[in-house]
Copies of this chain bind each other. A is one copy, B any other.
Amino acid sequence: MSATACSGGILSVVGTGPAGAAWMSPETAALIDEATDLVGYGPYLDRVAKPHHCCHPSDNRVELVRAAQALDLAAEGRHVAVVSGGDPGIFAMAAAICEVLANKASPAWQDVKLGIYPGISALQAAAARTGAPLGHDFCVMSLSDVLKPWSVIRKRITLAAQADFAMAFYNPRSSHRPWQLGEALEVLRTVQAAETSVIFARAVGRADESLHFTTLAAADPTLVDMQTLVLIGNSLARNFEHGGRQWVYSPRDYPEQLAET
């Protein structure tokens, strides 16, 4: 770690992918190697930190503070990597960095060289492992009502079901938010068929990975935790067996006769 503070440091906003080095892009791996400082949620830093890194771990849910800290470090001339899991642009740090930067709280930040880089997100790992549940038009939502009112989430789920989108739900359930997923499933049941495909994909790519295939009628929210990505197939999604296990896909095409329903 060099203490040289050249004017105008570098801020690279990256994501490790949902698990393991096999899903991290070579671009992101190189940016992390080149960084002097890593900023992010502690467990994500643990995945990638090397001896030359100065690590600045922080707790979850302090994204704006973390973003300002990263910009301050970069403004000192450091080469900072802000490390998210997954893709930094999907329910992760890219939006927090942009928000803090747009508000221009510190004039020192203006010379920071900003780069945001894509990564594989949890929804993609979960979808790949289970087939192609997002093989047709789909939507991606966080079920957390920490940053938005539940009424907005409920309205969006209703409209998404009317649109017959396949769906991916992040942050579906935690000990602090135990009822939201159950209510989300109830909202879906008012629009979608009982046999609609539902998948609980937990910790995909990690040692404790588990896949649970169920239906909208049978889905039990108590099987879900914060490590789980919930996938909902569209009305045409089809389950099939291959290689002694289950798969599901939402077909690429959508027949004319369903258009007017």
The interface of chain A, by Cβ under 8 A from chain B, is: 13, 17, 21-27, 30, 63, 87-91, 94-99, 101-102, 110, 112-114, 116-121, 124-125, 127-129, 131-132, 134-142, 147-149, 151-152, 155-156, 159-160, 162-165, 238, 240, 242-243, 247-254, 256, 258-260
Contacts and interface: CB of A to CB of B under 8 A. Distances in A.
A147 B254 contact: yes
Determine chain A's interface SS by DSSP, over half rule: mixed
B131 A94 contact: yes
Contact of A165 (B30, B121, B139): B139
Contact of A124 (B102, B119, B134): B119
A124 to B, nearest CB: 4
Given A151-B260, A243-B114, A24 B22 contact: no
A160 B160 CA distance: 7
B132 A142 contact: no
Cβ-closest 10 pairs across A and B: A95-B135, A98-B249, A148-B254, A118-B124, A102-B240, A94-B132, A22-B27, A139-B139, A147-B253, A95-B132
A236 to B, nearest CB: 10
B102 A238 contact: yes
A129 to B, nearest CB: 7
A25 B27 contact: no
Contacts of A134: 89-90, 140
B128 A94 contact: yes
Nearest to A127: B89
A114 B242 contact: yes
Q: Which of A102, A137, A164 has the most CB of B within 10 A?
A: A137
Given A102-B240, A159-B159, A253 B127 contact: no
A88 to B, nearest CB: 7
B118 A127 contact: yes
Contact of A137 (B23, B89, B140, B248): B140
Nearest to A104: B240
B249 A102 contact: yes
Contact of A113 (B87, B127, B162, B243): B243
A61 to B, nearest CB: 11
Given A23-B25, A259-B152, A249 B95 contact: yes
Contacts of A253: 147-148
Nearest to A140: B138
